[in-house]
């Protein structure tokens, strides 16, 4: 591709209107560059930065437009890989890098962290209270733990939804959808977390160093599985 090519690039319809003033101005400045290859490289970097900042939808729209604009060139191939990573259909390496960065970002975002902490606190109280009432009632240990876990889940769900809506009311989905999504997501994450915790406890002493990593891996896997479950039942939009 010629770096001095003047082939124009048209951003996705409505993308600029959905951006804040600074982002819209930056996009317009990059699009106006007549040097096609340099412009496309800059737009790819912009899409990666948006993705790193958590703006997955706008990044995906930009990558898709670049893929269509340069259907047979290097830009299209790169944009396709970036788009596949965001959509969850890419190769293992880029996809894992994207998910790991998103997981780390969520852990440092107070709008994600505080609802989870509050929900966990409510669940601990409800679970302990249920366990104390159910203990000695003639049920098996497994049934008692499952019932206590269910009570904890029912306590966590409204707290998670409520705090999320309090911290980010502008992006909150309808209440029934948020409730169902939280219930399903927390349930799946609890299953994976419980499996990871149980497996870590059973590791022999010589492998005890791996217990923290195993537990963290189970939480990460639970998060991914929860997102997939929400997509499967229509509670989370699939990215294309």
Report if residue 8 sits inside a domain.
no
Report if residue 6 sits inside a domain.
no
Report if residue 3 sits inside a domain.
no
Report if residue 186 sits inside a domain.
yes
Domain that holds residue 81: 16-91
Do residues 59 and 50 touch, judged by C-beta distance below 8 A?
yes
For 199, other C-beta atoms within 10 Å of its C-beta total 14
Report if residue 240 sits inside a domain.
no
Report if residue 145 sits inside a domain.
yes
**Total structural domains within the chain:** 2
| Domain identity same for 78 and 117 | no
Q: In the prediction, which pLDDT does 101 show? A: 67
Report if residue 38 sits inside a domain.
yes
Q: What is the mean pLDDT of residues 175-180?
A: 88
- Phi first, then psi, for residue 176 (nearest 5°) are -65, -35
Weakest mean pLDDT among 32-46, 100-114, 126-140, 193-207: 100-114
| Domain identity same for 79 and 125 | no
The three-state DSSP-derived secondary structure of 64-81 is: HHHHHHCCCCHHHHHHHH
| Domain-ending residue, one of 33, 60, 91 | 91
Q: In the prediction, which pLDDT does 1 show? A: 45
Report if residue 173 sits inside a domain.
yes
| Domain identity same for 153 and 192 | yes
Task: Indicate the pTM of the whole model.
Answer: 0.60
| Domain identity same for 192 and 74 | no
Q: In the prediction, which pLDDT does 220 show? A: 77
| Domain identity same for 185 and 119 | yes
Q: What is the mean pLDDT of residues 79-85?
A: 82
Structure confidence at residue 97 as a pLDDT band (50, 70, 90): low
pLDDT tens track for 164-174:
889 877 667 78
How far is Cα 147 from Cα 186, in angstroms, rounded to an integer?
15
């Amino acid at each position: 591709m010629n770096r001095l090519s003047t082939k124009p690039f048209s951003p996705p319809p409505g993308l600029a209107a959905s951006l804040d003033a600074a982002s819209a101005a930056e996009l317009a400045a990059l699009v106006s560059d007549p040097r096609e290859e340099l412009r496309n490289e800059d737009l790819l970097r912009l899409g990666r930065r948006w993705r790193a900042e958590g703006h997955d939808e706008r990044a995906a729209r930009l990558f898709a437009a670049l893929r269509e604009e340069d259907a047979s060139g290097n830009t299209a191939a790169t944009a396709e890989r970036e788009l596949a990573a965001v959509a969850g259909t890419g190769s293992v390496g880029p996809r894992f890098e994207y998910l790991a960065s998103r997981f780390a970002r969520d852990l440092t975002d107070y709008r994600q962290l505080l609802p989870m902490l509050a929900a966990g606190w409510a669940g601990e109280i409800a679970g302990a209270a249920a366990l104390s009432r159910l203990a000695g009632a003639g049920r098996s240990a497994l049934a008692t733990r499952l019932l206590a876990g269910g009570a904890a889940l029912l306590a966590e769900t409204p707290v998670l939804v409520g705090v999320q809506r309090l911290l980010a009311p502008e992006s909150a989905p309808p209440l029934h959808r948020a409730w169902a999504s939280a219930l399903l997501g927390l349930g799946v994450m609890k299953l994976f977390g419980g499996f990871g915790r149980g497996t870590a406890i059973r590791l022999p002493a010589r492998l005890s160093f791996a217990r923290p990593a195993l537990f963290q891996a189970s939480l990460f896997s639970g998060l991914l599985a929860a997102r997939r479950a929400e997509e499967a039942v229509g509670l989370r939009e699939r990215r294309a």
